[in-house]
A and B are shown apart, each in its own frame.
Chain A
């Protein structure tokens, strides 16, 4: 599973982004997206395109964690969102490893309709993948089931931890509201949260 995490200000200015891979089930924490290295902007493209969905979903209930809100089947990219009360958006794109085999696809479709479509297209996606992360993750791991309740829970924990650190970061007197987050401490904490939960 590869992740791309981004924080957007209430006015859609990107404040922070990071790409990382899973550390669960023997993952090495390195992101392996299905796009060639020259096309990493696809992550940003997909994640930003989900903003309409976020804006639609944000008034539906009072939760800050909006769960899985959008899927981009051609790349089998799943997007989860978290809103802070001040309107900053945390978006997490997760993409299961394309070569996870039929087990993963079955697991994905078990999780919901979106998973089925994603599973089918991952074969298509595999055609332009660079490198292979092989079937490292088992079907039961969160990596292979982007829409399962376990995954939702893991993402929720991750978001909560990032939120906690985000609050500390914006409390820094040298941080101006709406400024890009350059803090190395924050970055390392997000990395640690990713390693812990995802």
Chain B
């Protein structure tokens, strides 16, 4: 429990001192426009939109981890539980000023859920009522990619996906994160 409170203290502190703030509507509308444009470009193929969002997030995450570590100056996490607290209490706090609840751990400590009480990306959003978006589109899927990209750079291969979203009429917005493996240092492929 203490690591959780420590993490939230770090997060709060960083949010107050080290983070440049931008207008929330700017973020919301920019992200919303991207998603809406993707939906249009892929002609309502929401599976493909989810995939593209995840890929975008992955590319963001790979750089964002660098920024995250530079700002927070935290060391390596001892275990996956600590990682989860870092993600929720520090990572989400400094980049989105939210702290999703970490919950639903599996007994082997390799899987958890992030429950989002609020989601700045999805303010104002109502999914298109074409009868499919409600079942197929994960509006905030970019976040899954961000986590995957960021953790991959610190030797963790994970898999993240949304399991529910208030935009679809669910009670909560929940993301499931599972650790696939720790990436061991590998020798680069033989060069000549």
Contact = CB atoms under 8 A, between A and B. Distances in A.
Interface residues of A, number: 11
A184 interface: yes
Contacts of A169: 124, 126
A173 B32 contact: yes
B33 interface: yes
B129 A173 contact: no
B36 A174 contact: yes
Interface in B126-150: 126-129
Interface in A135-174: 168-169, 171-174
Contacts of B33: 173
A183 B29 contact: no
Interface in B5-37: 25, 28-29, 31-33, 35-36
A173 B32 CA distance: 5
Nearest to A184: B129
Interface in A39-59: none
Q: Which range contains the number of B residues in contact with the other chain?
A: 10 to 19
B124 A168 contact: yes
A182 interface: yes
Contacts of B163: none
B126 A171 contact: no
Contacts of A171: 25, 28-29, 123-124
Interface in B111-129: 123-129
B29 A174 contact: no
Interface in B30-63: 31-33, 35-36, 39
Given A169-B124, A173-B31, A174-B128, 7 more contacts: A169-B126, A171-B25, A172-B124, A172-B125, A173-B124, A173-B125, A184-B129
Interface of A: 168-169, 171-175, 182-185
Interface of B: 25, 28-29, 31-33, 35-36, 39, 123-129
